[in-house]
Amino acid sequence: MNILAVIGSPKVDGNTYKTVCQIEKELYKKNEEIEFEYVQLSRTKLELCRGCYLCIEKGEDKCPLKDARESLERKMKQADAVIFASPVYTYNVSWIMKNFLDRFAYRCHRPEFHGKKAMVVITTGAVGLGFVANILSFMLGSMGFIICAKAGITFAPPHEKDEKKLQIETGKLIRKTEVFYKKIINPNPVKPSLVKLLTFRMQQKVFSKAPQNLADFNYWKEKGWLEKSENYYYKVQAGILNKLIVSIISGLIA
C-alpha cells in the first residue's frame, strides 16, 4: 500500500509537516509495509493558475503552464490513498494549497479521483481547524476523493501553550489515523451519501446538454456516465430510498 502526503505549507519542516510525520508513524505501527511519499508543494514547480479556463473548457492538456501538474496528478492516481495537509493561514488554507486546488479545478467537472480515499490534516495557531478542514474536504470531495478522516492540531505560540489541549488533540489525531487506516484497508467500494448521488445526477444532466466540443461532455461520454441507467461514478448499491429522493429532487430542479 502506498500513501501520498501532499504538504501545503511553505515551511518544509513546519507544524503541518511534523503533524503528518506523526500520522506516518502511527500508520507504520499498524502496517510496516506502507510506503509513504511526501510532496512538498512549496518545493514543487506548480505555477500560479492564470484563470484562463482552458483546462475546464478544452481539456487539461491545453493548460499553458508546463510544470509538475501532470506528474502530481499521476502520483495521486497511483497512490492507494492521499493525505492533504495545510496550515490555517488567515482563516483559510495556505495560498499554496489553494493554488494546488485551482490548478486541479477541472477535476471538479471531471472527477477522475472518484472513490480514492483521502485524509485531511489541518494545523493552526488558535482557530479554524474545523471550518478549514471542512472547506478543504468539500473541494477534494468534489474532485471525487472520499474523505475518510479529518484531523487537526493547534500549535499555540509559546506564551499561550496549552499542554492539555495539545494532548487531547494528539489523542484525536491518533484515533482519526486509526479510522483512516481501517477505511483504506477496507476493499469494499464506499457507499455514496445522498448528496454525492444527487451531485452525480445533476452533473450528468448538465454535461449531457453541454456543447459536444466541451471537454466535460467528452469525458462524461467516454466514461459512459451520460447513460441514464448510470447512477454513480462506479458500481455501487445506492439504496431504493436514496434513488427515489434523487429522482424526485433532480426532476424538480430540471
Ligand X SMILES: Cc1cc2nc3c(=O)[nH]c(=O)nc-3n(C[C@H](O)[C@H](O)[C@H](O)COP(=O)(O)O)c2cc1C
Residue 89 binds to ligand X (criterion: CB under 6 A): yes
CA atoms of 101 and 50, how far apart (whole Å): 13
Nearest to 88 by CA among 42, 131, 47: 131
Residue 88 binds to ligand X (criterion: CB under 6 A): yes
For ligand X, give the closer residue by CB, 19 or 242: 19
* Concatenated DSSP letters of 148-210: EEEEEEE---GGG--HHHHHHHHHHHHHHHHHHHHHHH--SPPPPPHHHHHHHHHHHHHHHTS
CA atoms of 251 and 20, how far apart (whole Å): 44
Residue 127 binds to ligand X (criterion: CB under 6 A): yes
Residue 100 binds to ligand X (criterion: CB under 6 A): no
Do 249 and 198 touch, CB atoms closer than 8 A? yes
Residue from 3, 82, 116, 123 in contact with ligand X (CB under 6 A): 123
CA atoms of 123 and 167, how far apart (whole Å): 14
Residue 199 binds to ligand X (criterion: CB under 6 A): no
Residue 28 binds to ligand X (criterion: CB under 6 A): no
Residue from 27, 69, 84, 124 in contact with ligand X (CB under 6 A): 124
In this chain, which stretch among 10-18, 139-147, 177-185, 214-222 interacts with ligand X, using CB under 6 A? 10-18
Residue 52 binds to ligand X (criterion: CB under 6 A): no
How far from 90 is each of 18, 230, 241, CA to CA, in Å? 20, 41, 42
Residue 146 CB, shortest distance to ligand X, in Å, is 25
Residue from 52, 126, 185, 253 in contact with ligand X (CB under 6 A): 126
Binding to ligand X (CB under 6 A): which residues in 147-166? 155
For ligand X, give the closer residue by CB, 11 or 183: 11
Residue 16 binds to ligand X (criterion: CB under 6 A): yes
Residue 40 binds to ligand X (criterion: CB under 6 A): no
* Concatenated DSSP letters of 146-161: EEEEEEEEE---GGG-
- Residue 160, exposed/middle/buried by CB under 10 A (0-12, 13-18, 19+)? exposed
Residue from 32, 66, 90, 159 in contact with ligand X (CB under 6 A): 90
Instruction: Please report, as ranges, the residues that interact with ligand X according to CB under 6 A.
Output: 9, 11, 14-16, 87-91, 123-128, 155
